Chains A and B, each alone.
Chain A
Amino acid sequence: MTAPLPSLRARVTPPDAVSPAPTHGHPPLIEVDRLSLYYGAARALHDISFAVPERLVTAFIGPSGCGKSTLLRCFNRMNDLIDNVRLEGTVRIGGEDIYARDIDVIELRKRVGMVFQRSNPFPKTIFDNIAYALRLQGLRRKSEIADIVEQSLHQAALWEEVKDRLHASALGLSGGQQQRLCIARAIAIKPDILLMDEPASALDPLATAKIEDLILDLKQQFTIVIVTHNMQQAARISDATAFFYLGELIEHDATSKIFTNPARKQTEDYVTGRFG
């Protein structure tokens, strides 16, 4: 066990190499500096530098295989699970280099939650899906666990739909409900950052709308980074947008600017649907 992170919230002055970001006065929480990532000899991310501001929604857009999910998984070190991954450059969260030797990955993941493309509730009850994360944190008191479960389900706008069947299987929920349960599970342990990897790509428009409302709600409390294929979705819910192409960060700016007046031709071609 390495020493726990002192505090991911403790902020340090951003280094000069980070590109100017549309922060709306929000300080940067995630700072990526000259990050390259290799799968074996193949380079998936190329020299990426930018910052994700606190308590805003940042969207990653770009065609399939552009590295946006790979980058997202750098923020909670999920790429550690894959053999042959090599990183260059740094990722700092709250000023802390999360790839430093003395970083506790477990502690990092408790502070950087993740919601996956395919909803992946545990084959347990709705209650236990959320309680699992809390018990991992060492919570034992039943009343306390029940309180947080209820609170998280409220936050994930799922409480009204499931309050009468908390002890039924989570797999009996609809796709959209399952995904909101996964969000409830992720926010139950109160992370600073919520990473979402195409959270609505498998859902119908109605369920997607609910997830989007939820995201707008959650950004009051969490810094959200969302990967999406859906350009309208990025435009609707994000404050900042980063466009990736072939492992490179092409442009990163305020969402309104990216979608109305992008600086780069490639970005314009992509957001207007000319390719990708």
Chain B
Amino acid sequence: MATFLILAILALILGNIFLQGGTGLSPRFIFGNADKDMFDVASAGVWPMVFGTAARVILMTLFVIPVGVTTAIYLTEYAPALSPFTRIIRGAVNNLAGVPSIVFGLFGLGFFISAVGGTLDVFLYPDSPKPVWGKAALIWASLTLAVMTLPVVIVATEESLRAIPLGLREASLALGATKLQTVLRVVLPQALPGILTGGILAVSRAAGEVAPILFTGAAYYMASLPQSLTDQFMDLAYHVFVLSTQSPDIEKTRPILYGTVVVLLLLTFALNLVAILIRARVRRNLRRLA
């Protein structure tokens, strides 16, 4: 019964979005620029937002996977299980998962933009009148999202590392492998599908988030695509918010709003699909050996 309820709700949401939004979709809309009037149904395009969202999600993945995987390896393979230090790290990871996303946004503003970016500016560009690193930017938004999705990647990686039998590690160590060689050549290849699952979950979570990028990189309007990591960017999810609150005529812009939501869903799906395809390939390679 509850399952049907969930299915019904999902069908209602998706049906509504695709029915209303599907009609507004056209190559001009998806690949068109927003440089004229982003509230004009006849000319508005969402390509800068597609680009921005894809860029921040991909960059985030590049940041979060190495850090998350290394942390998980440390926790499962190296850290003494019962030491207070390990417990503190584990507690921190769990708490991190419970922090509201808007708090991550404020953290990103305070830590990445003010502290890190501000410091970089002091040392690298002491004479620049305008901040170069110490402002909202693609890199800071991606890093903020990476911090937010870190627990997902850590937990998924830990689970898959734990699932690998002790016998394999012992076999490797007994042959005179160091612990690092054992982790890199025996344990990690087996854990790869689980790590990719963590990546998929992180992408899903991050793609639709607005709060963490609100202060750290998303722009209301930009005339051109971001040219560097220190540029701001337009974002699909944030654009949905803009369209539904800032529009001069909400009825007229409704098709753009729905269209943007559809594109956001499709982009999230596409990013997930890439990760899922990679995972399927890895699994197939592993299964050939199983």
Contact = CB atoms under 8 A, between A and B. Distances in A.
10 contacts: A106-B178, A110-B176, A118-B167, A120-B168, A122-B171, A123-B289, A125-B289, A133-B175, A137-B176, A182-B171
B181 interface: yes
Contacts, number: 69
Given A109-B173, A109-B174, A189-B175, A122 B81 contact: no
Contacts of B290: 123, 169, 171
Q: Which of the listed residues B165, B177, B289 has the most CB atoms from chain A within 10 Å of its own CB?
A: B289
A168 to B, nearest CB: 9
A116 interface: yes
Interface residues of A, number: 29
A132 interface: yes
Interface string A69-103: 00000001010010100000000000000000000
B176 A133 contact: yes
Interface in A135-184: 136-137, 169-171, 182
Interface of B: 80-82, 165, 167-168, 170-178, 181, 185-186, 190, 286, 288-290
A106 to B, nearest CB: 5
The 3 A-B pairs at the shortest CB distance, nearest first, are namely A110-B176, A120-B167, A114-B174
A218 B19 CA distance: 74
A76 B174 contact: yes
Contact of B171 (A83, A106, A116): A116
Q: Is the interface of B mostly helix, strand, loop or mixed?
A: helix
Contacts of A78: 170, 173-174
Interface of A: 76, 78, 81, 83, 106-107, 109-110, 113-114, 116, 118, 120-125, 132-133, 136-137, 169-171, 182, 185-186, 189
A120 B181 CA distance: 17
Nearest to B80: A83
Q: Which of B167, B170, B175, B286 has the largest number of chain A CB atoms within 10 A?
A: B175
A169 B186 CA distance: 15
A119 to B, nearest CB: 9
Contact of B172 (A113, A122, A125, A170): A122
Given A120-B171, A123-B290, A189 B165 contact: no
Contacts of A118: 167
B167 A136 contact: no
